[in-house]
Amino acid sequence: MTDPVAPPERAVGPRIPERAEGESKGPVLELEDAALRVRGRTLFAGLDLQVHPGELIAILGPNGAGKTSLFRAILGLERLATGRVRVLGRPAQRGDHRIGYVPQQRVWGRGTPMIGRDLVTLGRTGARWGLPVTSREDREAVARAIWAVRAESLAARPMGDLSGGEQQRLRIAQAIVDEPSLLLLDEPLSSLDLGNQAEIIGLADRERERGAAVLFIAHDINPVLGHVDRVLYLAHGRHRLGTPGEVLTTESLTDLYGTRVDVLRFPDPATGVDRVFVAGAGNGHEHHLEQHADEVDRLERSE
Amino acid sequence: MSWDQFFDYSDYGHLLSLVANSVLACAILGIVGGLIGVFVVQRDMAFAVHGISELSFAGAAAALLIGVDVLLGSILGSVIAAAIIGLLGARARDRNSIVGVLMPFGLGLGILCLALYQGRSANKFGLLTGQIVSVGGDQLWSLAGVSAIVFIALLIVWRPLTFDSLDPEAAAARGVPGRRLSLLFMLLLGLMVAVAVQIIGALLVLALLVTPAAAASRVTHSATLVPILSMAFGLVSALGGILIAVGSTLPVSPFITTISFVIWLICRDVGRTRDIRRFRRAAEAHALEAA
């Protein structure tokens, strides 16, 4: 890379931690030559990705590029056209408790019959059949997860009364209640203010310190740029994988989009991490197409 | 006109023993209706319940006409309606239009059957507005049996169904089979509607399948308390209704619907007062923090 302003080494956050003895040695997630097609449209193909414990990877790309579908494939909800997904050495399958998943933000309105603790408890026991009794062990796990996201004061409050940021913290508590090895966050920062964004990123960092691998779909890379190890950029059925300095360059993204794209970087003295702006990625026409494809995806999923 | 001509409680004990079966049937319906109502409210299906009950009415009227068991006809009608709504109306907007299409068809079909029916006319009106003057022993057993099936099935699927109702994407990722679960729920709903049609009539089913749960979710948001309160409200409405109606020449339905409506009004007011107090406290805490 010849980019003169490649971002500096990450200023905060630990590197991949040393794995404890006896822990699984292999990668948390392996994608091998993975391809996903929806209605004849290729979302991505030939994707090879190995994610190790303690890694945080940001997934970027325009709407409809297949970011959420990639998560669904990892969760076993979507079948790959070709290739393989393995989670901790086993093929992806539905209901895998070693994966924590926070879907794209939904907001629970006033009057939702659920308090904060209920949402987290569903993550622990929600898939179990039989009499709805919660064991002490389950209650303790729920309390730990609530503590981990610093939401003790929200546990007894109605979900519908909480702000977007507060709901998001509880959703993360729900996802980590089984202490997953892999955490999938789908646009966890959307519609949050800066303070809440920092809080959510801090929680993702904590999970990574615990040894989980974190995949993070981001609409805007800047809030997480100082924390990510690698970036996966999906667009137009193709992808780029590498460090932010490798992927987020004019040459790399121009090649990926097949049209002129400018990547602008501004040094930010406050954090020591550059701010990155991508200009001209996809013109209006293409954007429209992507949104259309997005709608098709949604329709198919609801069937 | 004086009230005495409608109410006479002078021989109440004796009257009560005559209608013991009906009292029991009401109590069962109140409890199980209150329980399933929690999911009706969570899944936003009040209108669907109304649509199912009209087809249930058509089934019951047809059964009356051809002389087979009315509950059986009622169940057949409501299960068919529930299946159609469940299969075609996964999304709320589709569902509402399907219900809107089914409802008048069911009602029309039912009216046709009743018009052709030559038997006692009290039976006709009863299917629409409820008339359990006397539930026979056999009938009680079948009502109780169907209700028990619904109750037990709901308890077994309780957590996955709650998860799917409140947080469907996360539930699917955790392995909850949302589609099959919602079809099963429609089937249980169909069964319960058929039972309710026998007791309070097709037009008033919502008073026991929606109102108690709606009232409960006004006063509490806890996932554990809502169903308990809802069952209690359903029981009070249904049981209170029949106990008043026993000493009266009036049908049971208006008592049930009125009690459940009053409970809802009270809950709404309690909930509102509490909401206001809670917001005020939150605002004060916020102001303190800012200071």
Q: Is residue B4 part of a domain?
A: no
Span of A17-31, A221-235, B258-272 with lowest mean pLDDT: A17-31
| CA–CA separation, A237 and A43 (whole Å) | 5
**Which residues form the domain of B73?**
12-290
What pLDDT is recorded for position A8? 41
What pLDDT is recorded for position A9? 43
What's the whole-number mean pLDDT along residues A255-265? 87
**Amino acid making up residue A109:** G
Q: What is the CATH number of the domain that holds B27?
A: 1.10.3470.10
Size of interface A-B (CB pairs under 8 A): 102
Token pair belonging to B158: 């309780």
What's the whole-number mean pLDDT along residues A285-289? 44
Q: Shortest Cα distance from A287 to chain B (angstroms)? A: 26
Q: Is residue B5 part of a domain?
A: no
What pLDDT is recorded for position A265? 87
What pLDDT is recorded for position A15? 44
Q: Is residue A258 part of a domain?
A: no
Backbone angles phi, psi at A134, to 5 degrees: -105, 120
**Amino acid making up residue A208:** R
Q: Shortest Cα distance from B9 to chain A (angstroms)? A: 41
Please tell me what DSSP assigns to residue A17: P
A279 versus B31: the higher-pLDDT residue is B31
Q: Is A47 exposed, middle or buried (0-12, 13-18, 19+ CB in 10 A)?
A: buried
Q: How many domains does chain A have?
A: 1
Q: Is residue B177 part of a domain?
A: yes
Query: pLDDT band for position B1 (50/70/90)?
Result: low
Across chain A, mean pLDDT equals: 85
C-alpha closest to that of A178 among A110, A137, A124, A215: A124
Q: Is residue B7 part of a domain?
A: no
* Residue with the two structure tokens 């021989």: B11
Is residue A20's pLDDT more than 50? Answer: no
What pLDDT is recorded for position A6? 43
Chain A contact set for B169 (CB, 8 A): 103-104, 106
Q: Is residue B222 part of a domain?
A: yes
Is residue A190's pLDDT more than 90? Answer: no
Q: How many domains does chain B have?
A: 1
Per-residue pLDDT tens over the stretch B36-56: 999 999 998 999 999 999 999
**Which residues form the domain of A124?**
111-175
CB contact under 8 A, A95 and B159: no
Chain A contact set for B156 (CB, 8 A): 129-131
- Give this complex's ipTM: 0.87
Is residue B125's pLDDT more than 80? Answer: no
Chain A contact set for B222 (CB, 8 A): 113-115, 118
Per-residue pLDDT tens over the stretch B213-222: 999 999 999 8
C-alpha closest to that of B200 among B266, B261, B265, B255: B255
Is residue A156's pLDDT more than 50? Answer: yes
Query: pLDDT band for position A22 (50/70/90)?
Result: very low
Backbone angles phi, psi at B228, to 5 degrees: -65, -45
Span of A72-86, B50-64, B107-121, B145-159 with lowest mean pLDDT: B107-121
Query: pLDDT band for position B134 (50/70/90)?
Result: low
Q: Is residue A115 part of a domain?
A: yes
| CA–CA separation, A229 and A101 (whole Å) | 20
What pLDDT is recorded for position A26? 85
Q: Is residue A131 part of a domain?
A: yes
Judge if pTM exceeds 0.90: no
| CA–CA separation, A269 and A125 (whole Å) | 46
Q: Is residue A193 part of a domain?
A: no
What's the whole-number mean pLDDT along residues A73-102? 94
Q: Shortest Cα distance from B173 to chain A (angstroms)? A: 6
Query: pLDDT band for position A125 (50/70/90)?
Result: very high
